[in-house]
A and B are shown apart, each in its own frame.
Chain A
């Protein structure tokens, strides 16, 4: 009789212990699994192409000007930045542009797509999780594009302009996509290797901005005309 009671108590204790262990495991997995985990901020997971690729031997004058201008603003020696700058991509899009990048003292990838755009965040942990991006631009002869630097934990980047998917390439941590049809809204989806993803929405203001800018421009011209009129004797 006593032995049966003891066995029953033992089984109950073992069952309770198993349930407790299972609950603890579930909490642990929720904290580290894809569902509940916050992604690393910005591109703090690393941009290995800036270490893996050799420094560029020569760079265009516009790249030198970019480095000389932005590096000091990020507390980075422009001479060291130029010595360590990498050519991450070349011959991109209709403009056949090259993409150069260097790492600032704060670890941020500062990049320039020659003839189109440059960017330099204040730190690697700033910006959208997994991607330092710029989107839009273009000229009558060059389409708009998405260009950016993705961190090592990013598997792919997707882009939709007004709901229409645009192919995006990711090579040497550098992201590029060109889109010819102008749109009003962009959605950038950043897919990480752990299965999680983040999205960024951008109002491109393709159609709505021209009128507003024209109003601003006319207002400025009017103000200048008035101030010049007042300045005359």
Chain B
């Protein structure tokens, strides 16, 4: 447990890319069931990182996507089970989201969801 906590702290510490103009870690160190999701503050966005672990086994999937500031117009989710994905799409002004896939059969440990620009 201590190791997991230490790893989580390290993960949160190294998330921010260098020389960025704005960034926000909008979720970190939580356990999510299938379908859980979170969104960031609105801003100009050029990346969205999602880092996660299968701490109870299986290969849970997580996704990322961007929406405009109204939340009405979103692009499609990008899914993976590799444990670290980055959404390289961008939006002039909007919000980033991360989500545990609704079809997951295992809980997922979300190290962080972090977005920004620069």
B43 close to A (CB within 8 Å): no
Given known contacts A119-B80, A127-B59, A210-B74, is B87 in contact with A137 (CB within 8 Å)? yes
CB distance from B1 to the nearest CB of A (A): 19
- Min Cβ gap A96→B in Å is 14
Report yes or no: B75 in contact with A73, Cβ–Cβ below 8 A.
Answer: no
What count of chain B residues pass the 8 Å CB interface test?
A: 41
Selected from B49, B51, B97, the residue in CB contact (under 8 A) with A213 is B97
Distance (whole angstroms) from the CB of A86 to the closest CB of chain B? 18
Proximity string of chain A (210-232) to chain B, C-beta cutoff 8 Å, 1 when within and 0 when not: 10111011101000000000000
Which residues from 73 to 129 on chain A have a C-beta closer than 8 Å to any C-beta of chain B? Answer: 73-74, 112-122, 126-128
Binds B, one of A20-28, A63-71, A170-178, A189-197: A63-71
A216 to chain B: closest CB distance in Å? 6
Q: A205 within 8 Å of B by Cβ?
A: yes
Q: Is the CB of A206 within 8 A of B76?
A: yes
CB-defined interface of B44-65 with A at 8 Å, one 1/0 digit per residue?
A: 0001010101000001010100
> Which residues of B, 62-93, contact A by the 8 Å Cβ criterion?
63, 67, 71-72, 74-89
- Are B88 and A119 within 8 A (Cβ)? no
CB <8 Å contact, A121 and B88? no
- Identify the closest chain B residue to A186 (Cβ): B79
Q: Which residues of B contact A136 (CB under 8 A)?
A: 63, 76-79
Q: By the criterion CB–CB under 8 Å, are A212 and B37 in contact? A: yes
Known: A68-B18, A220-B39. A121 touches B83 (CB 8 A): yes
B residues with CB within 8 A of A:
11, 14-15, 17-18, 35, 37-39, 47, 49, 51, 53, 59, 61, 63, 67, 71-72, 74-89, 95, 97, 99, 101-103
Chain A to chain B contacts (Cβ below 8 Å), 5 pairs: A112-B88, A115-B89, A134-B85, A202-B103, A204-B76
Apart from A117-B88, A144-B76, A216-B97, list 15 A-B contacts with CB within 8 A.
Answer: A66-B86, A72-B14, A73-B14, A116-B78, A116-B88, A122-B83, A128-B81, A134-B85, A136-B79, A138-B75, A140-B75, A202-B79, A203-B102, A212-B35, A217-B71
